Every structure is written in C-alpha cells, then in structure tokens.
Amino acid sequence: MALLTPVPGDPADPSALQAALIRAMDAAGPPVVVGTDPARIGARDIPPGTALVLATSGSTGIPKRVALTADALSASARATAGRIGAGAWVLALPASRIAGIQVLVRAALAGAPVATVDRTGGAAFEAATRRLPGGIPAFTSLVPAQVRGLLETAPEALARFDAVLVGGQQTPPDLLERAAARGVRLVRTYGSTETAGGCVYDGTPLDGVRLRIRSGEVLITGAVLATAYVDDPAGSARAFPTLDDERWYRTGDLGSVEGGMLRITGRADNVIVSGGVNISLDLVESAVHTVPALRDAVVIGVADETWGEASVVVTAEGAAHDLADARAAVQSALGAPARPREIVRVDALPLLASGKPDRVALRERFGGRRLG
C-alpha cells in the first residue's frame, strides 16, 4: 500500500490536500498521511479502509496517529450539514488539524468551493470572504481567539456567514454575547481527531452521535469514531473500549449530560487546551525546570480571557525576571503556544507527606486565577 503526504506538517496547498482526500475517500487513491513522517508507518500498520492518518497535537504531550475511514469523515461532514446546512467554506485553520481538514471534506461533499485565508489578520479574512460565491450558504470554522480578533477587525465579514463554528477550547460567555450583538451566529463545537472533528454542537450531539458518562468521564459513540491509533494497539484498546457490545471513545474529559446537553467540567489528565492546542503541563514543567532558579517550580493551568486556558509557574524561589528564561525554554522545547503566562511567588510550596508538591492545593488556590 503506497502512502501519500501532500505536504509534511501543515499542508501549504489545501487544494492538493483536498484532492488527495477525495481520491482516498473514493478508494481511488492511497491513504493520506498528515502531520507525521510516512516513512515511520508501514502499510501493514494501517487498518483496512483507512482514508486518513492524522497526527494529534498530543493530549499527554505525545502525539498519536489516528486512522480515520472515509465513512467516519463523511459521517461527520454530513451530520454537520444536517445541523447547520451545506455550502461554501472559508479555511482559516491549519489544514494539518482535523478542524481544518473537515472544512475541506464538507465543501467537497457539498460540491462547493473553499477560500483559504493566506495569512493572519482581518484584511486576509475579509479577502477570503469576498472570494466566496454569492447565492449559496457560507460557513467557517475558528477558535475563540480568532473570533475575538475578527470581531474587532472584520465584524462585517464574520456576520456574512450563515454559521461560524467555534471550538478547540471553551468559548467565554462574553464572546458569545459580543458575537450575537454583531449579528454573528457562533456554534460551539466539541470533539477531537478521534471523533473526526466536532460531534457535539452547542451541547447537543450531532445526528448519529451518542454520549455516555462513565465514572465522570465523557464517552462518545457513533459512525464518526476513528478506527484506531496506528501502530499502538494498547493505546487503541484503552481509548476505544467495547461496552455493552458497542464501541466507544474515551475522551479524557470530565463532564455531565443534563437535559440532553453536554457540559464539560474539566480534563481527566494534567493537560490544558490553549488556543485550540493541547498542552501537557508536565512537559511545560520539565522545560521550566531547566531554568536554575525554577528547578523546584510547579506549573498549573489557569483561565485565560484570550486563549481559554494558559499556564502559570508557581515557585518559592524564582523571581519575576526569570519568566523570560522560562518562556524561552518552553518555546524551544514545546513551541510558542505552551509558554507560561506569568510567575506566581509563594512563601513555600505545599507538600504532600511524600515530599512531592501538593498540586491539588495549588490548583485550589490559583486555578481560578484569570489572565487577560
């Protein structure tokens, strides 16, 4: 089986990626591999029927290679069309992530064009919006930080869309109110690569998707589920258990379903989602510890007005001027989105009987701290 990667990493030519996806979904071409080196994947490792292998950003700091079938991709796209409509799309998200790829799939299934935002900023978004044809519905998919910026720089362009999907992190209530006041229809989405993209819109599952809460964790089932993690049978077994003769996906998120509406209350692991990027606080902390004055610091997640969540460094030794060194170390190791926002000084770090930092106590003390 031959493997295809249109462009490694973030595909620079979304039209080429879309064409490759269409061929793969029609079984007329090989599976598309995005975000990982295809040389590391053997043909025998890819489950039969796979149309796309997509690397995640890594909710535990280790990216996973998710195998998705044509049926899963199309089930997600068609369910989205059933909820918000079908039409043309503006691609303003990376085509190396499932939210961006689904923009391409939805437009292809609708036989409609995609206009790509070629750079950041309101002017580029407005230019892409102007390239959409008139007379048919128009849609786009964004993260909250993009919505916040475009409400300032291109509100008329945002209001042009029949719906604006917003996901990747919790959308602040004030942002929803501001968008509504400007005539922008935001649709909050929840999902992941393992569910072929967003599968819960405004708290309600898409058609064909069902939810279950087990031990506080949100589980999802439906035709949108990925087949497996490539070359990781143990991880696949943990993430996709069979319960009551049905295959489910364990999201790792804690939540509840009240009146048919999903409410997410937090992560089951030590991970934050900042600007749509999953960031392991353990890995951030390891990088921070390379700064001599912060070798005993603890990193926790806090709310952030712009990015949804961010990290702060709690220390009894470091000083404010050490923040620049910490941010540089984290950026070098993990990338800019993972950089901590500030340093918080305490007289002494709370410790467990084992001598390890009491992270629960720190989260209770500082977790409600808001940045912005």
Provide the CATH number for the domain around residue 152: 3.40.50.12780
Is 13 within the bounds of a domain?
no
**Per-residue pLDDT, 1:** 39
Q: Is the domain of 188 the same as that of 286?
A: no
Domain for residue 28, yes or no?
no
360 and 217 housed in the same domain: no
pTM: 0.75
Picking from 218, 247, 267, the residue at the C-terminal end of a domain is 267
Residue 244, exposed/middle/buried by CB under 10 A (0-12, 13-18, 19+)?
Answer: exposed
What is the reported pLDDT for 38? 72
Residues 86 and 189 occupy one common structural domain: yes
pLDDT value of position 26: 94
Contact 248, 241 (CB under 8 A): yes
Number of domains in the chain: 2
Q: Is residue 14 a part of any domain in this protein? A: no
In a domain, 4, yes or no: no
186 and 293 in a common domain: no
| Same domain for 281 and 260 | no
Domain that includes residue 198, residue range: 70-226+239-267
Q: Write down the pLDDT at residue 372.
A: 53
Is 10 among the domain residues? no
Residue 318 maps to a domain:
yes
Residues 248 and 320 in one domain: no
Same domain, 311 and 256: no
Q: What integer pLDDT is reported at residue 60 of this predicted model?
A: 38
Q: What is the CATH number for 318?
A: 3.30.300.30
> Does residue 245 share a domain with residue 152?
yes
Per-residue HEC secondary structure of 197-249 comes to EEEEECCEECCCEEEEEECCEEEEEECCCCCEECCCHHHHHHHCCEECCEECE
pLDDT number for residue 266: 67
Looking at the structure, do residues 261 and 137 belong to the same domain, yes or no?
Answer: yes
Residues 6+ apart with CB under 8 A from 95: 10, 11, 14, 17, 34, 101, 104
- 108 and 137 in a common domain: yes
End-to-end CA distance of the chain: 49
Residue 51 forms part of a structural domain: no
Co-location of 324 and 282 in the same domain: yes
Q: Average pLDDT of each block of 10 consecutive residues along the chain (372 residues)?
A: 43 84 91 81 81 74 84 98 98 91 97 92 95 95 90 96 90 89 97 96 97 95 97 93 96 89 80 85 86 88 87 85 92 92 90 66 78 56
Do 262 and 128 sit in the same domain of this protein? Answer: yes
